[in-house]
Amino acid sequence: MSEFDAIIDYVEQSCKTRGKKLTPKRKLVLQTLLHANKALSAYELLDYCQTHFKQPMQVMTIYRTLDFLEQELFVHKLTVSNQYVACSHILCEDEHGTPQFLICAKCNKINEQIIDPQMMIGLKSNAQQEGFTVVNSQIEINGICDQCVE
């Protein structure tokens, strides 16, 4: 079984365990993000589904599907670019923690890491001291990957 198949199988079982269903459209959107191996906007997902899988979808269906997949922690929304990426820790059964995304400005490669929980406690504490309540602690850092530097 390939890693791709293992992820889809895991997500199907995970949904079933949670009393949810991985519908064909949800599965298609997740497969598309996995297949693309990069962040895509809803409209880019629409085009990708049509081009690579010959599956037409409505953009509202894609948004609803992305909302579901994001709530279930199978995908992440990159706030700055309004794009979505498959979680690189889908197969991890532990608490995922707060994601940090390293995004290459040249090739758009995305590396997802988990931020040390102690660091997040400090960041949230600093925000509170300044009179802010953190509502989304996800961190997105733009830079240039080593391959693009060379």
From 93, 110, 130, the end of a domain falls on 93
Residues 84 and 45 sit within 8 Å (Cβ to Cβ):
yes
Residue in the block written with tokens 């991985």: 22
Tell me, yes or no, whether 84 and 138 share the same domain: no
* HSE of 68, CA atoms in CB hemisphere, 13 A: 19
Instruction: Say if residue 2's pLDDT is above 90.
Output: no
Tell me, yes or no, whether 87 and 123 share the same domain: no
Interval 65-118: pLDDT, tens: 999 999 999 999 999 899 999 999 888 876 778 899 999 999 989 999 999 889
User: Residue 132: its pLDDT value, please?
Assistant: 94
Distances (CA, A) of 131 to 40, 120, 123, 135, 137: 34, 16, 13, 13, 16
Tell me, yes or no, whether 38 and 80 share the same domain: yes
Look at the chain and count its residues: 150
Tell me, yes or no, whether 40 and 69 share the same domain: yes
CATH classification at residue 77:
1.10.10.10
Tell me, yes or no, whether 73 and 114 share the same domain: no
CATH classification at residue 113:
3.30.1490.190
Tell me, yes or no, whether 144 and 73 share the same domain: no
Range of the domain at 81: 1-93
Tell me, yes or no, whether 2 and 74 share the same domain: yes
Q: Global pTM? A: 0.87
